[in-house]
């Protein structure tokens, strides 16, 4: 997405953004959008090759990006990545905790591993990167932390006990950390997307997607770019007085 095509005009020049789960889907859209707005973007995920694709897209549009492949559930790795970003670019202004996975099955059949993997990737990673990144923000007395939750964390979804629990946990974490650090001029907010057109929803197939659209008052899936636009606004100066909030972006699904 080029700067000329951005639907929201925000200038993030001289800002440094960290985006987890930046290798695909919503995370990639967020990283590219922040890069188009002028931010230097640290792209984080496990898959080095796909991260390079995201970074190339940012660079091709005239932005600046760096790739940091790591296991987002590993405490030492999270700390090392944040330190590496600060070493390279001297600060962190924006942190977007987006990394997430699903391991769907009904609760009687859910294994310990399916529970633990989702909680670790979706919730533990938010804690790890927030704890590590917040130090740099508090030193500068400026920061924007934006956590990507889900409507599943608000309303639940059969077959997603692990996913829904992780996303509900993100909301509680967001609201608590927002209260802890508001005095340091660091905002913390959560976005809860509904059904967004990504590789994950593509896997549902046309029939299931049609059923989903019937449930959504807007009668369509959302776009990753629409989530990225919401992140862009919260990351901007216009979002300075918004903290501890949960923005639902779901076409009216939870209205």
Confidence of residue 1 (pLDDT cuts 50, 70, 90): very low
Which residues does 11 contact at the CB level (< 8 Å), separation at least 6? 37, 38
Tell me yes or no: is domain 13-198+225-248 CATH 3.40.50.720: yes
Q: What is the mean pLDDT of residues 132-155?
A: 96
Q: What is the percentage of the chain residues whose pLDDT exceeds 90?
A: 88
Whether 3 shows a pLDDT value over 80: the answer reads no
CA terminus-to-terminus distance, the chain: 30
For residue range 209-246, what is the model confidence (pLDDT) as tens digits?
888 899 999 999 999 999 999 999 999 999 999 999 99
Which residues does 60 contact at the CB level (< 8 Å), separation at least 6? none
Whether 205 shows a pLDDT value over 70: the answer reads yes
pLDDT at 119: 98
Tell me the two tokens of residue 12.
Answer: 């993030």
Q: What is the mean pLDDT of residues 177-189?
A: 97
What distance in Å separates the CA atoms of residue 189 and residue 90, rounded to the nearest whole number? 24
What distance in Å separates the CA atoms of residue 73 and residue 116, rounded to the nearest whole number? 11
Whether 131 shows a pLDDT value over 90: the answer reads yes
CA distances from 213 to 194, 196, 197, 251, 252 (A): 11, 11, 11, 10, 11
233 is catalytic: no
Query: What angle separates helix 112-119 from helix 161-181, to the nearest 10 degrees?
Result: 30
pLDDT at 255: 87
The sign of the torsion formed by the CA atoms of 87, 235, 46, 117 equals positive
Identify the weakest region by mean pLDDT among 72-76, 146-150, 205-209, 211-215. Answer: 205-209
Q: What is the mean pLDDT of residues 131-157?
A: 96
Whose CA is closest to 29, among 13, 53, 47? 53
């Amino acid at each position: 997405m080029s700067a000329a095509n951005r639907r929201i005009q925000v200038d993030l020049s001289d800002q440094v953004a960290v985006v987890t789960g930046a290798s695909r889907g919503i995370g990639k859209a967020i990283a590219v959008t922040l890069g188009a707005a002028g931010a230097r973007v640290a792209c984080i995920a496990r898959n080095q090759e796909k991260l390079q694709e995201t970074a190339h897209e940012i660079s091709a549009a005239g932005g600046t990006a760096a790739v940091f492949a790591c296991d987002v559930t590993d405490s030492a790795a999270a700390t090392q990545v944040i330190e590496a970003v600060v070493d390279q670019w001297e600060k962190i202004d924006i942190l977007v905790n987006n990394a997430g996975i699903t391991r769907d099955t009904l609760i009687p059949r859910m294994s310990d591993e399916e529970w633990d993997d989702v909680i670790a990737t979706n919730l533990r990673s938010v804690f790890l990167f927030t704890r590590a990144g917040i130090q740099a923000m508090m030193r500068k007395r400026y920061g924007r932390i934006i956590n990507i939750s889900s409507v599943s964390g608000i309303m639940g979804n059969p077959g997603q006990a692990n996913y829904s629990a992780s996303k509900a946990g993100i909301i509680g974490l967001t609201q608590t950390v927002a209260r802890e650090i508001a005095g340091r001029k660091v905002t913390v907010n959560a976005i809860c997307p509904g059904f967004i057109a990504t590789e994950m929803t593509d896997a549902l197939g046309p029939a299931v997607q049609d059923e989903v659209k019937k449930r959504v008052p807007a009668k369509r899936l959302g776009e990753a770019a629409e989530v990225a636009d919401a992140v862009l606004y919260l990351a901007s100066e216009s979002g300075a007085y918004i903290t501890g909030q949960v923005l639902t972006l779901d076409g009216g699904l939870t209205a």
